[in-house]
Amino acid sequence: MCSVMTMKMRAAALLAVSVTFSLGMSEAYAAPSQKDRREAQQLAHEAKKLVTQGDLKGATKKYKRADQLVPSVTYKLAVGKAYADLGDYVQAATALREAAAVTGAVGPEKRALEEAKKLLVAIDAKTPKLEFEMMQPEASKVTLLVDEEEVDPTSGAHAVNPGKHEIVARADGYTDWSKSVRLDEGATQTLEVRMVRAGGEDDASSKGGAPRWSAYASWGVGGVALIGGAVFGVFAIQTTNEILKRKEPYDCNANLCPQAAESDLAIARMNGNLSTAGFAIAGVGAVSGLVLFLLSGDASKPAHGDDEGKGESLAASPMLGPGFIGVTGTF
- pLDDT confidence of residue 259: 58
Q: Are residues 139 and 75 in the same domain?
A: no
pLDDT above 60 (res 318): no
**In this model, does residue 268 exceed pLDDT 80?**
no
Report residue 123's pLDDT band, with 50, 70 and 90 as the boundaries.
very high
Say if 23 falls within a structural domain. Answer: no
Q: What is the mean pLDDT of the chain?
A: 78
Q: Does residue 20 belong to any structural domain of this protein? A: no
Sign of CA dihedral 115, 118, 123, 124: positive
Is residue 158 domain-shared with residue 134, that is, in the same domain? yes
Whether residues 115 and 230 share a domain: the answer is no
CATH number at residue 151: 2.60.40.1120
Report if residue 11 sits inside a domain: no
Residue 1 lies in a domain: no
Q: Is pLDDT at 137 greater than 90 in this prediction?
A: yes
Q: How far is CA 51 from CA 68, 78, 120, 304, in A?
A: 19, 10, 20, 47
One domain for residues 121 and 160: no
Write down the pLDDT at residue 15.
Answer: 46
Q: Return the amino acid letter for 182.
A: R
Report pLDDT for 225.
Answer: 74
Q: Is residue 155 part of a domain?
A: yes
Taking CA atoms, 42 is separated from 62, 67, 70, 124, 316, in Å, by 9, 12, 12, 31, 73
Say whether both 325 and 223 belong to one domain.
Answer: yes
Residues 117 and 141 in one domain: no
Give the pLDDT of residue 197.
93
pLDDT band at 264 (very low <50, low <70, confident <90, very high): low
Identify the band that residue 280 occupies on the pLDDT scale cut at 50, 70 and 90.
confident
What pLDDT does 252 receive? Answer: 64
pLDDT above 60 for 122: yes
Higher pLDDT, 219 or 32: 32
Residue 29's pLDDT band, with cuts at 50, 70 and 90, is very low
Residue 93 in domain: yes
Residue 312 belongs to a domain: yes
**Phi/psi of residue 163, nearest 5 degrees:** 130, -165
Task: Give the residue from 82, 111, 126 where a domain finishes.
Answer: 126
The pLDDT score that the predictor gives to residue 127 is 97
Domain count, the chain: 3
- Indicate whether 331 pLDDT > 60: no
Whole domain around residue 239: which residue ranges?
206-330
Specify if 3 maps to a domain.
Answer: no
Is 180 in the same domain as 247? Answer: no
- Please identify, among 71, 104, 126, the residue that sits at the C-terminal boundary of a domain: 126
Last residue of a domain, one of 126, 156, 176: 126
**Together in a domain, 137 and 109:** no
Q: Do 325 and 211 have their domain in common?
A: yes
Q: Are residues 191 and 212 in the same domain?
A: no
Residue 112: pLDDT over 50: yes
Same domain as 139, residue 214? no
* Residues 163 and 215 placed together within one structural domain of the fold: no
The string of pLDDT tens digits covering residues 149-170 is 999 999 999 999 999 999 999 9
**What pLDDT does 299 receive?**
44
Domain of 63, CATH number, reads 1.25.40.10
Is 117 in contact with 100 (CB distance < 8 Å)?
Answer: yes
